[in-house]
């Protein structure tokens, strides 16, 4: 069958356990089956309880994880061929099969520049769009800009805006709608950095991708002449390296933070949540899932050898963590430090 994964695959990875065939236990008439409790359910996530900013050090770099909002996307689309009984143990779905997802952006203080990595959804979309995707990010004018201020900076202090790719939930906050209805760059002093081929790919607008690539997130930056494009792996500034991780889009990139012998990796949609750490747990949204698989395999190998801190963009609960020894999850007790 198309898209079917044998459950033994998941057993070999330690993600589930096959039960041996045995006679069913007879339940006496009038008895009640106990509720299924494969693992405790996580507490609900809400914008009211989400911290606006969480800060930490990576070497000498000061890093601020800005919780720029929440969205809700279909759980099946987020986990592709992974069966729902497995993924729902990690992130329970609502009555519309949607799961809560963060919109985490990163503000990094480097010696030479203040760098913002990804920008969330922004404030331009109408009520219907926001309802479909369950978007919660109200702010002044956006929750992202509120987070930058909470981290101790004004938005116009940002020098570089790095786009891991140009989907609306990563690039939407790079432009804002003004009170008079114009759409303009949110950070007019900054240079906007993206892979050259990703910028070109965003303009294709075919039926498969046009719902994710919105012109209003790209064209105002183009008109303002603010794009700086790169090709392949690039040392952007001291402490920040751009790392191609194709698969979700053909020209997707992750971002390495390197300082004083420590490395962190802002994964973006290579691995959107901590639940996606197992190699075959790949989104149905990915345009080239087998390429994603190899990007993850290569990245996980380096991350394990060099003990990288992994930073998740869409995990509403877990901002960061380090791989366990089997590279199937995060080390217990090392999720936040």
Instruction: Return d(Cα 49, Cα 304) in angstroms, integer.
Output: 32
Interior/surface letters 128-159, b for 16+ CB within 10 angstroms, e for the rest: eebeebbbbbebebbbbbbbbebbebebeebe
51: which 2 tokens? 């911290």
Mean pLDDT score, 19-24:
39
User: With 90 as the cut, is the pLDDT of residue 29 above it?
Assistant: no
Percent of the chain with pLDDT over 70: 86
> At which residue do the structure tokens 């420590």 appear?
262
Q: Model confidence over 124-146: pLDDT tens digits?
A: 999 999 999 999 999 988 999 99
Digit-coded pLDDT (tens) for 184-213: 999 999 999 999 999 999 999 899 999 999
What's the rounded Cα separation, in Å, for the pair 287 and 282? 11
Look at 240 and 141; give whichever has higher pLDDT: 240
Asked whether the beta carbons of 127 and 171 are under 8 A apart, the reply is no
For position 20, what pLDDT does the model report?
38
Question: Given this model, what pLDDT does residue 297 score?
Answer: 98
**DSSP character at residue 323:** B
- pLDDT computed for residue 43 by the predictor: 72
Residue 11 is inside which H or E element, if any?
helix 7-12
pLDDT in tens, 80-90: 999 999 999 99
Predicted confidence at residue 3, as pLDDT, reads 43
Pairing assessment for the beta strands 61-74 and 53-58 based on DSSP bridges: antiparallel
Spell out the domains of the chain, with CATH numbers in brackets: 46-320 (3.60.15.10)
Confidence of residue 333 (pLDDT cuts 50, 70, 90): low
Phi, psi (degrees; rounded to nearest 5) at 70: -130, 155
- What mean pLDDT value characterizes the chain? 90
In this predicted structure, what is the pLDDT of residue 335?
59
Higher-confidence residue: 88 or 325? Answer: 88
């Amino acid at each position: 069958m198309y898209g079917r994964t044998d459950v033994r695959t998941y057993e070999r990875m330690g993600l589930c356990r096959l039960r041996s065939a045995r006679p069913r236990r007879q339940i006496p008439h009038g008895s009640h089956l106990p509720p299924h409790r494969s693992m405790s359910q996580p507490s609900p996530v809400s914008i009211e309880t989400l911290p606006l900013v969480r800060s930490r050090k990576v070497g000498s770099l000061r890093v601020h994880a800005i919780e720029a909002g929440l969205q809700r996307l279909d759980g099946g689309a987020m986990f592709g061929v992974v069966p729902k009984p497995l993924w729902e143990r990690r992130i329970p779905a609502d009555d519309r099969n949607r799961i809560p997802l963060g919109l985490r952006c990163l503000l990094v203080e480097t010696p030479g520049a203040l760098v913002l990595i990804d920008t969330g959804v922004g404030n331009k979309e109408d009520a219907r769009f926001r309802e479909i995707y369950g978007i919660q990010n109200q702010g002044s004018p956006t929750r992202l800009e509120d987070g930058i201020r909470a981290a101790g900076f004004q938005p116009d202090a940002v020098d570089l805006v790095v786009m891991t790719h140009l989907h609306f939930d990563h690039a939407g906050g790079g432009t804002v709608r003004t009170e008079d209805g114009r759409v303009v760059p949110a950070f007019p002093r900054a240079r906007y950095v993206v892979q050259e081929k990703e910028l070109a790919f965003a303009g294709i607008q075919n039926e498969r991708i046009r719902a994710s690539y919105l012109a209003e997130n790209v064209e105002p930056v183009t008109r303002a002449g603010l794009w700086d494009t790169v090709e392949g792996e690039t040392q952007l500034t001291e402490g920040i390296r751009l790392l191609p991780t194709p698969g979700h889009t053909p020209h997707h990139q992750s971002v390495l933070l390197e300082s004083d012998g420590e490395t962190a990796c802002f994964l973006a949609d290579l691995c959107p949540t901590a639940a996606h750490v197992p190699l075959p747990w790949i989104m149905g949204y990915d345009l080239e899932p087998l390429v994603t698989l190899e990007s993850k395999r290569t990245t996980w190998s380096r991350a394990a050898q060099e003990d990288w801190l992994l930073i998740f963009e869409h995990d509403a609960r877990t901002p960061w963590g380090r791989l366990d020894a089997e590279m199937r999850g995060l080390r217990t007790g090392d999720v936040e430090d």
